[in-house]
């Protein structure tokens, strides 16, 4: 049985709602399928059978169905009438569009974080950034990419704007789907500068640094394409 990613917090023993364990398990399944797509095991065009996935994860088909609906909402899979669920054929323009949306939203999130984050929050983000840098140096790109998504997701959460968090579900994964091949030292420096601006309460600078960080990711992606570098095997060819 496939182990689920650890991004979902465990449910409190004191939880009073009967549906809480169900929600956590659904998100576990969603995150596990998402990782299999991003890592290339489930390639573009692959049919995702609910029965097969339910057997693989040891859960009911209903939970798998709910997880796949969430993945459809964020753009990783598509449902074809009378045929089933398939890994979406993504293309580079779709990734660029996701990055453009991220640039606006995460700029706002960084600005809002200046009003809300605690020293503990900043320390948490610095720790994630340091782990990412270490994994990059060790060429553990899959683990690094997963942490990078958590870093940016956490920034959105710390903004205190629930709408930003909900919107992020529909584009954050697409915006992180291609590893930019950027210098890990530069990425680390950008993260640290952003966190320092947030800690200092410099809202204008924090927003500018957040937007610049994502703009540089776009530039790196475009440069990769111009140089003919290979995209992940599940990603569609540029039109």
pLDDT value of position 172: 66
pLDDT value of position 31: 84
Q: Which CATH architecture has domain 92-226?
A: Up-down Bundle (1.20)
Torsion of CA 55, 57, 61, 64, to 10 degrees: -140
Residue spans per domain, the chain: 20-87, 92-226
What angle do helix axes 119-137 and 141-158 make, rounded to 10 degrees?
160
Per DSSP, the chain holds a count of helices (H) and strands (E) of 10, 2
Domain 20-87 is in which class? mainly alpha
Tell me if domain 20-87 and domain 92-226 are identical in fold.
no
- State percent of the chain over pLDDT 90: 44
Q: What is the pLDDT of residues 137-153, one digit of tens each?
A: 998 887 888 888 889 99
Contact between 183 and 148 under an 8 Å Cβ cutoff? The reply is: no
**Count of Cβ atoms closer than 10 Å to residue 221 Cβ:** 22
| CA-based max dimension of the chain | 55
Question: Which region holds residue 238: left if phi is over 0, alpha if psi is between -120 and 50, else beta?
Answer: beta
pLDDT value of position 176: 55
Q: What is the pLDDT of residues 104-117, one digit of tens each?
A: 999 999 999 999 99
Better-predicted residue by pLDDT, 91 or 197? 197
Whole-angstrom distance, CA of residue 180 vs CA of residue 173: 14
């Amino acid at each position: 049985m496939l182990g689920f990613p650890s991004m979902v917090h465990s449910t409190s023993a004191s939880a009073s709602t009967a549906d809480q364990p169900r929600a956590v398990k659904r998100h576990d399944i969603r995150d596990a399928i998402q990782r299999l797509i991003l890592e290339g095991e489930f390639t573009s065009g692959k049919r995702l059978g609910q029965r097969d996935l339910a057997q693989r994860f040891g859960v009911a088909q209903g939970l798998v169905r709910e997880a796949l609906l969430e993945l459809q909402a964020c753009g990783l899979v598509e449902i074809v009438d009378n045929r089933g669920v398939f890994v979406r054929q993504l293309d580079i323009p779709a990734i660029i569009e996701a990055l453009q949306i991220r640039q606006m939203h995460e700029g706002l999130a960084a600005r809002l974080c200046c009003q809300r984050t605690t020293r503990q929050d900043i320390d948490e983000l610095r720790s994630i950034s340091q782990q990412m840098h270490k994994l990059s140096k060790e060429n553990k790109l899959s683990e690094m990419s997963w942490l990078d998504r958590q870093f940016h997701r956490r920034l959105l959460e710390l903004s205190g704007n629930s709408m930003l968090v909900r919107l992020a579900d529909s584009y954050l994964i697409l915006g992180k789907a291609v590893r930019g091949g950027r210098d890990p030292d530069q990425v680390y420096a950008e993260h640290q500068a952003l966190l320092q601006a947030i800690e200092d309460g410099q809202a204008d600078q924090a927003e500018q640094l957040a937007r610049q960080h994502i703009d540089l990711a776009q530039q790196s992606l475009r440069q990769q394409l111009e140089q003919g570098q290979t995209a992940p095997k599940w990603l569609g060819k540029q039109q």
